[in-house]
Amino acid sequence: GSLITLSCLSHRVVCQVISSAVPADSIQENGTSGSSWITRLENSYGFYIGLGLAVFSSFLIGSSVILKKKGLLRLVEKGGTRAGDGGHGYLKDWLWWAGLLT
């Protein structure tokens, strides 16, 4: 038979193909058949789920930047020492923490 070499990060495997027989049934026994609800959902709505996740994550990232910036601007208005000058006043502001957690 033929030899096939497979490489994956730190492992290297050599496989020998003994036969080229086609299985009688097309349903696989390892749970990857098209009948599972997850596979049907991904086939039907995969693009829209991905698009929704991308829009939602960009909203969260943008909100995080805005909240942290508002917290830092509020610190400047109060006359606090900026982080670049050795101050840690931004750690006391809830807006900065809300932005960090977002």
Q: Is 65 left (phi over 0), alpha (psi -120 to 50) or beta?
A: alpha
Which of 65, 64, 67, 89 has its CA nearest to residue 76? 89
Rg of the chain over CA atoms, in angstroms? 27
Q: Among the listed ranges 24-38, 67-81, 88-102, which one has the minimum average pLDDT value? A: 24-38
What confidence score (pLDDT) does residue 56 get? 95
> Which tokens sit at 31?
């749970």
Quick check: 7 pLDDT over 80? no
> Each residue of 57-91: pLDDT tens digit?
999 999 998 988 888 888 888 877 666 666 777 77
What pLDDT is recorded for position 45? 81
Average pLDDT over residues 38-43: 74
Arithmetic mean of pLDDT, 28-37: 56
* Dihedral sign (CA 27, 32, 37, 41): negative
What are the domain boundaries of the chain?
46-79
What DSSP element (H or E) covers 84? none
What is the SS3 assignment for 8?
Answer: strand
